[in-house]
Amino acid sequence: MKKILVTGGSGFIGSNLVNYLIKKNHFVINIDKLAYSSNTYNKPQNKNYKFFKLDINNKNQLKKIIEKYKPECLFNIAAETHVDRSIDSPFQFMHSNIMGVFNLLEVIKNFRKKNKKIKLVHISTDEVYGDIKINRSNEKYPYNPSSPYSASKASADHLIKSYVRTYNLPAVISNCCNNYGPYQFPEKLIPKMITNILNNRPLPIYAKGQNSREWIYVEDHCEALYKIFKKGKIGESYNVGSNLNLKNIDLVKMILKIFKKKGFKLGKKVKIKFVKDRPGHDFRYALNSKKIFKELKWKSKTNINKGLNNTVDWYLKNKKFIRSISKKHYSTRLGLKI
Ligand SMILES: NC(=O)c1ccc[n+]([C@@H]2O[C@H](COP(=O)([O-])OP(=O)(O)OC[C@H]3O[C@@H](n4cnc5c(N)ncnc54)[C@H](O)[C@@H]3O)[C@@H](O)[C@H]2O)c1
């Protein structure tokens, strides 16, 4: 059993990673400030789980927790994550995604001065590479972020690399494509469509739905993160992708088909509705993930049909999850205040 600290362990990917690590019999410490997107509906009930409600910018408390538990690994998943929100209110993104990471790095740097071992696995995104109109971006591809969100994530990646180079801080970065699965907050595309179908509401799609994203089932991402912790080389970045790109419109049509196949009677208002595009909207993200395939022998396992079916089933079985979230956090269109 290893002691593993997860920051942001109450968010979408964090909730899945915490469950994954507990299943692997590790002792998991979760630090999360419990922002609007946190899951408070289904918390792990396990003696090998500890939770602290804390902002990663709180240096003193963070230091105390790390010194008390001496985790072997710190997965940094805490971040502000919604691009549209970053357009309207960028400050919080800089605060959590840049200053929060700087704070973590300083705490880890000082902890290591006492000869303590700890590996930082930082979770980043494919959005740092910007719009990939053709081919796929590998880890050497230049960073070219387009939104305040992706720029804050790109900044954190640079900061981490500088700490590896200057202070020998043992950190690894994963740049993952779009995740989907249980516990995702309904402001994001897939759970938004599912929630609107369940509530007989129109299905808003930006522009004409031609934008393309690469999709990975969240459990596959958790497995990749675990591999990166175990085998990832310090100072390296690993793209984590499935190689499967879909246009938004095609993805939404797939979800509708799944509901119909399950015998779900679609309400009259459940219709695709094209809405105003996001300012600065990247047309396509696509990762070249050959490095993790070859060097860490990891590949995503879940095909999109199976993953989407599991996801729809989870939301159908866990309607309380949606009911636990205040509608004001996901029913208004954001990101148009420019
Ligand atoms: N969801 C995706 O498709 C995707 C893809 C690639 C990378 N990522 C990255 O994965 C990470 C998690 O994404 P997610 O979709 O699970 O997000 P999420 O919004 O569901 O969860 C983020 C969690 O971080 C917490 N948090 C935010 N700021 C914090 C702070 N300052 N201190 C403590 N806790 C804080 C929130 O309370 C929340 O519980 C992010 O770093 C994101 O950039 C996500």
Tens of pLDDT, residues 181-203? 999 999 999 999 999 999 999 99
Catalytic entry in 32, 55, 80, 127: 127
Closest C-alpha among 271, 287, 284, 305 to residue 140: 287
Q: How far is CA 300 from CA 135, 215, 275, in A?
A: 20, 10, 32
DSSP state for residue 276 in the 8-state scheme: P
Q: Which two tokens stand for residue 63?
A: 């230091």
pTM: 0.97
Q: What structural domains and CATH numbers belong to the chain? A: 3-181+216-244+284-301 (3.40.50.720)
Q: Is 61 in the pocket of ligand 1 (CB under 6 A)?
A: no
Q: How many CB atoms lie within 10 A of CB 63?
A: 16
> pLDDT tens, 3-38?
999 999 999 999 999 999 999 999 999 999 999 999
CA distances from 278 to 35, 87, 206, 338 (A): 23, 9, 7, 10
331 band by pLDDT with thresholds 50, 70 and 90? confident
Mean pLDDT of the chain: 97
- The phi, psi pair for 335, rounded to 5°, reads 85, 15
- For residue range 122-168, what is the model confidence (pLDDT) as tens digits? 999 999 999 999 999 999 999 999 999 999 999 999 999 999 999 99
Ligand 1: residue of 6, 13, 30 to mutate (most ligand atoms within 8 A of CB) is 13
CB atoms within 10 A of CB 93: 25
Q: What is the pLDDT of residues 208-267, one digit of tens each?
A: 999 999 999 999 999 999 999 999 999 999 999 999 999 999 999 999 999 999 999 999
The answer, yes or no, to whether any atom of ligand 1 lies below 6 A from the CB of 96, is yes
Q: Compute the distance from residue 82 Cα to the ligand 1 centre, in Å.
A: 9
* 3-class DSSP state of 76: strand
Residue-wise burial string across 266-302, b where 16 or more C-beta atoms lie within 10 A, e elsewhere = eeeebeeeeeeebeeebebbbbbbebbbeebebebeb
Catalytic position from the list 129, 141, 149, 285:
149
Res 176: pLDDT: 98
What length is written for the chain? 338
